[in-house]
Amino acid sequence: MVTEVVEVRVLSLTLYGRQVGHLAGFRDGRTELTFTDAFRDDPERPIFTLTTHSRFPNSARLMASPWVKTQKLHPVLSNLLPEGALREFIAQSLKLHSDHEFDIFSHLGGDLPGALIARPLAPEEVPPHLLKAHGKAKAVRAAVSAQAARFSLAGVQMKFSMKEKDGRYNLASGSGELGDWIIKTPSTRHPFVPANEYTAMRLAGLAGVTVPEFKLVAVDKLEQLPQINLPDETWAFAIKRFDRNGQHRIHMEDFAQVFAKYPREKYNAANYENIGSVLYEYSGNALGDVQQFARRLLVNILLANGDAHLKNWSLLYPAYAAPTLSPAYDIVTTRAYMGDEREYALNLGRTKRWYEVTFEHFENWSRKADIPWRAIKPHLDEVMERARTLWPEALQELPMDEEHKRGLREHWANLQQCFRV
């Protein structure tokens, strides 16, 4: 009986110049992530994902065996890939099916979110022990096309990593230069999303939410965009990449990765108590981060943002440093587009309903997350004071569509008395 030769393609995974491990891809769609002994046995290793943190229970045991998945990549890697229209665009340009995650990951591995780099190995570079584990295994080269834009931004809308120069923005692809701005083009489904997001982020900042630099950019300042249909709108939304500092990468992961959940589970696999507990236990700025987290939770309610799911909260992992909560991003008044939307994304204090939530629900959240309520309540009070003092006048001058502004004011009037603006 002749044993069939198994062909395997292998990517080398590195983080801050350290070898993390290898990702093997097989023809049947199976993938295996194997950590190197040196990475696993080093208590000072940089954080790849929170479960590999040296303080995480049984982290060494979790890394002792390969992380095997039958079709998709492991969630820690799968969540680095775009969703929706952007994934379809990249897959089509590569002449691949959008479910072929290993191939898409291989192509995008040089400009992933955070600091992880995935490099295809030539057959002669593949460590022999990876092949021995699969009997008659033969290493083959992972084909990487040079045709498609080579960047990856998790999310469902069309957005691009771009480099600013002299007030113009160019795609950061192919040259080895990292993009320093994320550019979100106008939506073909919903009108004036860039102005909506700009306004929501500006109001969030006024309420004490930590936000990165962001601005509106004229669409005609965007160069080298692929052939995509855009509505006749003037502005795109630009947000400074906080996982980049010039040519230096800063590692990060969203909370779908933290909890090892796939994007399809981002609305139902965890709640805000779970996120708060992780921040309070593992953050290098535990109290400050949970206070900021609580502040953002209330701001999302006040701004009618129903999309603050697991992928819209992230941890930053500076090299060899403790994790911290990233700046805020993707704050949008979603109710402007979702009709009579009445719920936020995840459970908080046993409810998702905007028009039911009170301070009591936040107190229940803090108790469940084992966070002292006395450390949280003053920050919520300050959010309300700032919102009531600053938002009504600011909203008049901000560029949100007038109909969206009216809807936001109606939303404020329908909240419980303690949260009305």
Q: Provide the annotated active-site residues.
A: 307
Comparing C-alpha atoms, which of 107, 129, 130 is closest to residue 118? 107
Neighbours of 419 (CB within 10 A): 21
Rounded Cα distance, 193 and 334, in Å: 9
Query: Taking the chain, what is the end-to-end CA distance rounded to the nearest angstrom?
Result: 76
What's 204's DSSP letter?
H
Return d(Cα 261, Cα 76) in angstroms, integer: 8
Number of residues in the chain: 421
- Residue 224 backbone dihedrals phi, psi, to 5 degrees: 65, 20
30: helix, coil or strand?
coil
Q: Are strands 244-245 and 214-218 parallel, antiparallel or unpaired?
A: unpaired
Burial of 216 (0-12, 13-18, 19+ CB in 10 A): middle
Q: How far is CA 84 from the centre of its chain?
A: 14
Tell me the residue ranges of DSSP E strands in 192-245. Answer: 214-218, 222-223, 235-240, 244-245
Name the E strands within 36-132: 67-69, 116-120
CA 320 and chain centroid, separation: 21
* CA–CA dist 332, 156 (Å, integer): 14
Q: CA–CA distance from 316 to each of 8, 73, 128, 204, 327 (Å)?
A: 33, 22, 34, 20, 9
